[in-house]
Every structure is written in C-alpha cells, then in structure tokens.
Amino acid sequence: MSLQHAVLALLAAKPAHGYELKSSFEQAVGEQWGGLNIGHLYQVLDRLARDGLIESERQPQPVKPDRVVHSLTPAGRAELDRWLSEPSRRARGYRDDFFLKVMAAAHGGDPAILAGVLSRQRTHLLRELRSLAEARTLTRDSAVVALLVTAAELHIRADLGVVDAAEQTLRPEVLAALRAQPSPAAPDRAGTADRAPTADGRAGPGRATQAQAG
C-alpha cells in the first residue's frame, strides 16, 4: 500500500514519532492529498512493526507522556527500495462513479437526462480547475506540492475529455438504439438441468419432460 511505503520513506530520512510523521507527510504532499488521520497512521505503524519493517523505542519525557520513536530496519529499507524500483500499476479496468451515471442515463434513453449529467459534471470539473489555479499560488515553496497540483489538473482535464467524448458518442440516435435493444433472454432451465443420457450417449429429456410424457 502506498501510504505504508510513504511512511517508510519518511523514516528513511530520520527516526520520528507518530505526530512528527503526520506533520512531515502533510507538509510534503500539501493540501491536495488531504490530511492524514492519526489513528490510521498508528495502524500503519503497527502493521510495519509487525512485519519487521520498522522498530520502535519508547523514550521518556520529563513532563509529557513517553513518546514512541520509530526507525527503519534493514528489511524496511529493502522493501522501500523494492517499491521505488517498480512502476505504479492502476487497478484493472476503468471504474468510476461518473461512468456508472453515464451508463444509467444512456440506457434510460432520455437525451435530456444524459445532457444534464454531462453538464453538471463539466461544471464541477471546471470549478475544480479554478480551485487548483488558486492553490498553485500557494505552492511556490514546494516543488513536490506544485507537481501534485499539476497532476490533479491533468487528471481533471482528462475527465473533461471523457465528458466531451460522451457527448460526441452518445447522440440521441445512439440512445434510441440502446433503448430498443431487447433484454438478454434468461436461459430456459426447465427440463434441461437434469437430462439423462440415452442409450447412444446423447442427452435425453429431463425429468420434468419425462414426467409429463408419462
């Protein structure tokens, strides 16, 4: 999981306790990624410790409660190197909530409903682009965060391309054809599920058919 490996990368720089890791992660990726839940982070740390990828040391403090400082093990360094050496693979197929909405509107056959779905999505994406343009002005001090904003912009422009393609592909005549398609016929299981072979080895009539014949 990428978050586990991001934690390994932060610990490769220096040992740290939980809240240091949370702060370092959020500073590294900026607001576009979103905040890191401290409870989730502790779950990740527990998993990494269980797998022998980090080791933890409890350090007493004079006033505050003891803190647990985590550091990378040789196995953790090897796992981080392995992860960095491999390409990042997407999940198989194209799974997107918007595409399911397009499918539902298209099979409904009403051009007005589909047009509304596409129009609202385009408006939402354009609003996101404007928000990213504002966010870019705050990233001058971090090249990594600026790159993340650029990546977000490229994804949104690709999503806008999907909206454009849907408008060009799913014209009213295409919707009409989709609506006119007959539903797939369910297999006729009556008398076929339990066919007994005849003397020559071919499937004979099912029990239901035999009973009717008798």
Per-residue pLDDT in tens (0 to 9) along the chain, 214 residues: 588 998 999 999 899 999 999 988 888 776 666 778 889 999 999 999 999 999 999 988 888 888 899 999 999 999 999 988 887 776 666 667 888 888 888 877 888 888 999 999 999 999 999 988 888 887 677 788 888 889 889 999 999 999 999 999 988 888 877 776 665 555 555 544 444 454 454 545 444 444 444 4
Residue 85 is given by DSSP the state: T
| Residue 52 near residue 75 (C-beta atoms within 8 A) | yes
Residue 189 forms part of a structural domain: no
pLDDT of residue 74: 96
Residues 13 and 63 in one domain: yes
Residue 186 forms part of a structural domain: no
3-state secondary structure of 7: helix
| Residue 53 near residue 10 (C-beta atoms within 8 A) | no
Boundary residue ending a domain (84, 107, 138): 84
> Residues 96, 101, 102, 107: is their CA dihedral positive or negative?
positive
Residues 64 and 117 in one domain: no
Residue 102 forms part of a structural domain: yes
Residues 54 and 32 in one domain: yes
Residue 92 forms part of a structural domain: no
For the chain, what is the domain count? 2
Residue 201 forms part of a structural domain: no
Boundary residue ending a domain (54, 84, 114): 84
The CATH number given to whatever domain includes residue 20 is 1.10.10.10
Residue 45 forms part of a structural domain: yes
Residues 110 and 171 in one domain: yes
Residues 80 and 112 in one domain: no
Cα 3 versus chain centre, distance: 14
CB within 8 A of 210, min separation 6: which ones?
196
**Strand spans (E) along the chain:** 16-17, 54-59, 67-72
Structural domain boundaries, residue 170: 97-180
3-state secondary structure of 136: helix
Q: Convert 23-35 to b/e letters by CB count within 10 Å (16 or more is b).
A: ebbeeebbeeeee
Residue 213 forms part of a structural domain: no
Residue 160 forms part of a structural domain: yes
Residues 45 and 114 in one domain: no
Residues 77 and 128 in one domain: no
Boundary residue ending a domain (21, 50, 84): 84
Residues 10 and 37 in one domain: yes
| Residue 96 near residue 104 (C-beta atoms within 8 A) | no
| Residue 60 near residue 175 (C-beta atoms within 8 A) | no
pLDDT of residue 92: 62
3-state secondary structure of 192: coil
